[in-house]
Amino acid sequence: MGTGWELTQALKDQIYKYASYHQTPISLRQMVQFGPTPSPGSIFLASKFVVEELPIRLAKKVKDLDNAPLGLNNSPSTIKVKNWYAQSFQELTELQKPEIDENLKKLLYSTGTPTLIPAGNVEVLQQQQQQQQPPSPEIHTISNGTDSLVDNPAINNIFSDDGIVVRHHHHHNNAKSKSKEPQEDLINKTLSPTYGMKYFQPCPVNIIWPKEVYDYNKLVCQALEKIKKRHDATVATMAQGVKEWKSENHTILVNSQIQTFLDRFYMSRIGIRMLIGQHIALNMAQNSPTKQRISNVLNGSNASSRKNKTNYVGVICTNCNVGEIAEDAIETAKYISEEYYGLFEAPEIKLIAPQQDINFMYVPGHLIHMLFETLKNSLRATIEFHTPRLKKKYMEEHPNTKYDEIDLNDLVFPAIKVIISEGTEDIAIKISDEGGGIPRSSLPLIWTYLYTTVDETPILDQEYNQSSFKAPMAGFGYGLPISRLYAQYFGGDLKLISMEGYGTDVYLHLNKLSSSNEPLP
């Protein structure tokens, strides 16, 4: 993949032009408005939006990697990741545009034609802007890019995260600058390819759409699948890049500038992956003419309200059962630790949920990732902290036994507790272990990238192609910082409290997004 590809100066110039555009935010509500079986027309319009919006986001990534601090931009793995983003940008911008004739336009916009300003018409824009009031602070806030450090998640926890959740800014020194936005910036923002567009637009459901709609949807979906696969190894490859940077600079810990850069980089990546993953999933769920006919025959004309009904809209579960996902994460984490330590049975993990069947709207893939990473850490800490103590106790009870002859399976480790609680504002999950805790001096380090207690971090194979959603990044020191970004992405958080010599409590707070129409604070 990508053999013989190179980043030409002409392509780089185009990328930097797109990087100057503002991203268009997308609310979670827009993402679920498609419903379980989306209209092919709505997918068609969403595909047009994605093909215009993603290049802006990819271009910003290329620019960010180009300007990565302290020489990180020169490490071979960083350059590799940058070229992946540039290649994906090129493929999307060169994708064949759909042709919309009058008949298709009537079908697509039967619920109302959106008012879009044609890009490039600067004179019209200037005339309109002279007649209009300056935009309100909210509008400015939502459209804000991620270029300045002021908007950096690592600094002030305001997540300009590629548009899924954008928090309002409360910096007292921003009030004056917001009220008088430069005319040039206004024009530039308006000329953005996605200015005035929305990800979701309602379209008729019970009609047979022309072949061009399905062809374009398929074309975009295939392009996104290729891009998604290309970027599966981004987290691990950037980890390798940071490792190269550390080796080059003869340092053990990640500099705060690198930490800030990586927080911003990965938060942005989560947004891009979310949009790509959601759009691919919606494409797979769209109603084809054949599916519609079969469904009507088997289930009647009202099939969508009965057997076809599902809790999923793309990758978002509108009725996500926290307990079930916790059980899946527990089983996976136990399996990994059993394989690693050669155990017949991993330490017990007790699931405590006083309120049964806690459900809310969330992305199960994100939740299982966070729970798996924290549980894996708790299991490892529990086994490694208690093994020498339990072996000594076993030797006292069995005097003729040698230390190295004691089988781990003969030891009884203390249980780990997973407690789930639902409040009015959020759902909290506490993972409590007796794994010996963390020294206070090390607590700030656990949130830094590539901080790990593993003696040797793994070397990546050239063909490494593992998704960050599923991969146990053991030994890279990425589990906790990436998990915290996932939590913060939808307005939650991940916190850790340690008692050195005893154990650690991890608190995962999940924002109850389903309680509001828009996941914007």
Question: What are the tens digits of pLDDT across the range 282-335?
Answer: 999 876 555 555 544 444 444 443 333 478 999 999 899 999 999 999 999 999
Q: Which residues contact 324 (CB under 8 A, 6 or more apart)?
A: none
| In the chain, % of residues over pLDDT 90 | 54
CATH of domain 315-515: 3.30.565.10
What is the pLDDT averaged over residues 65-78? 96
State whether the Cα torsion 337-347-335-374 is positive or negative.
negative
What is the pLDDT averaged over residues 176-193? 56
| Residue 452 scores a pLDDT above 60 | yes
What is the pLDDT averaged over residues 366-393? 95
**For 123-137, 474-488, 491-505, which range has the lowest pLDDT when averaged over its residues?**
123-137
Tokens for 105, please give them: 């336009």
Query: What's residue 288's pLDDT?
Result: 58
Helix/strand/coil for 258: helix
Query: What's residue 11's pLDDT?
Result: 97
Task: Name the range with the highest mean pLDDT among 112-126, 251-265, 421-435, 504-518.
Answer: 421-435
pLDDT, the chain, mean? 79
Asked if 322 and 285 count as a contact pair (C-beta separation under 8 A), the reply is no
Full strand arrangement of the beta sheet holding 316-321: 312-313, 316-321, 359-362
pLDDT per residue as tens digits for the range 106-127? 889 876 544 443 444 434 434 4
| In the chain, % of residues over pLDDT 70 | 73
What is the pLDDT averaged over residues 406-435? 95
Query: What's residue 459's pLDDT?
Result: 54
**For 131-135, 150-154, 160-164, 180-184, which range has the lowest pLDDT when averaged over its residues?**
160-164
**499 DSSP 8-state letter:** E
The model's confidence at residue 173, banded by pLDDT at 50, 70 and 90, is very low
| Residue 498 scores a pLDDT above 70 | yes
Amino acid, single-letter form, for residue 489 = Y
Architecture of the domain spanning 17-305: Up-down Bundle (1.20)
Query: What's residue 468's pLDDT?
Result: 39
CA atoms of 387 and 435, how far apart (whole Å): 10
| Residue 473 scores a pLDDT above 60 | no
What is the pLDDT averaged over residues 496-511? 96
More confident residue, 74 or 448: 74
**For 9-18, 180-189, 508-517, which range has the lowest pLDDT when averaged over its residues?**
180-189
**Phi, psi values for residue 456, rounded to 5°:** -130, 125
Query: What's residue 188's pLDDT?
Result: 56
Closest CA to 243 of 473, 489, 495, 86: 473
Tokens for 77, please give them: 């793995």
| Residue 469 scores a pLDDT above 60 | no
**Phi, psi values for residue 411, rounded to 5°:** -100, 145
Tokens for 216, please give them: 């374009």
- Where along the chain do its domains lie? 17-305, 315-515
More confident residue, 184 or 240: 240
217-250 burial, b if ≥16 CB within 10 A, otherwise e?
beebbebbeebbebbbbbbbbbbbbbbbbbeeee
Asked if 233 and 466 count as a contact pair (C-beta separation under 8 A), the reply is yes
Asked if 266 and 489 count as a contact pair (C-beta separation under 8 A), the reply is no
Tokens for 349, please give them: 């993990």
**Which helix (H) or strand (E) is 125 found in, with range?**
helix 122-131
CA atoms of 133 and 180, how far apart (whole Å): 11
Query: What's residue 471's pLDDT?
Result: 41
